[in-house]
Chain A
């Protein structure tokens, strides 16, 4: 799977909208973009995923660049509970050796 690059950390304040960037310049045409988040002492939690079109759910909005070489996870009106490490991962569908590999991710801090 292609590699992703994320900033080590970002800071925000409660109520703000946060934009978490992810660069994947060598992404393949069949690779999906997945986002997970992990709070301390817990396992990762699925946030969202997409292939080419922007996607939205109750947790976040995923904006994917038209060339697919980057994406941005947008968290509207963050709260203290959104403080976590956010992982951007690429996965190939229908590939038996397809378990997500996690990097360091972006540690999001949220101030009151």
Chain B
């Protein structure tokens, strides 16, 4: 059974629209993260949460807003979508927010037309 679920697997959106990427982890972890990977580029850290609180934000744009309704959920809301937002978005989690091992989800592949 998958321990980190990301939904949807693929997502096509039009410029200017809003989408929510879902992430749920069933590992009992207290820290969750979002990363983004554009085509042929390194993985880029976006946010980290610990016990549902924002710990680190490396995303310049306020169009990206994490939402944590439960300890094991960290969704990512993206507003006013642009073609440059096209990427694969990976969710990850770890037991705590220090050197603990991170586990990554399968990713959501977003294409903005």
Is this pair of chains taken from one and the same complex? yes
Count A/B pairs, Cβ under 8 Å. 63
Interface residue SS majority, chain B: strand
The SS class assigned to the A binding surface is: loop
Question: Interface size class for chain B?
Answer: 20 to 34
The distance in angstroms between the C-alpha atoms of A104 and B33, with both chains bound, is 19
- B83-112: which residues lie under 8 A (CB-CB) from chain A? 88, 90, 92, 97-99, 101-107
Instruction: Identify the interface centre among A43, A44, A97, A98: most chain B CB within 10 Å of its CB.
Output: A43
- Write the chain B residue with the least CB distance to A93: B99
With a CB–CB cut-off of 8 A, which chain B residues contact A46? 101-103
Chain A interface residue number, banded: 20 to 34
B interface residues with partner A (beta carbon < 8 Å):
33, 35, 42-45, 48, 50, 55-56, 88, 90, 92, 97-99, 101-107
